[in-house]
Amino acid sequence: MNLMENEKSYMRQAIALAEAAVANGDHPFGALLVKDGEVVLTAVNTVHTDHDITRHAELNLVSQATRQFTPEFLADCTLVTSTEPCAMCAGAIYWAGISRVVFGCAAATLGQIAGGTFVIPCAEIFARGTRPVTVIGPVLEEEGTAVHQLFWPRIKE
Q: Which residues are catalytic?
A: 58
Residue 155: C-alpha distances to residues 27, 46, 141, 148 (Å): 10, 16, 21, 11
Query: What is the distance between the alpha carbons of residues 6 and 94, in angstroms, rounded to a whole number?
Result: 23
Query: What is the distance between the alpha carbons of residues 69 and 154, in angstroms, rounded to a whole number?
Result: 38
The residues pairing with 41 across neighbouring beta strands, listed in sequence order, are: 33
Query: What is the distance between the alpha carbons of residues 69 and 59, in angstroms, rounded to a whole number?
Result: 15
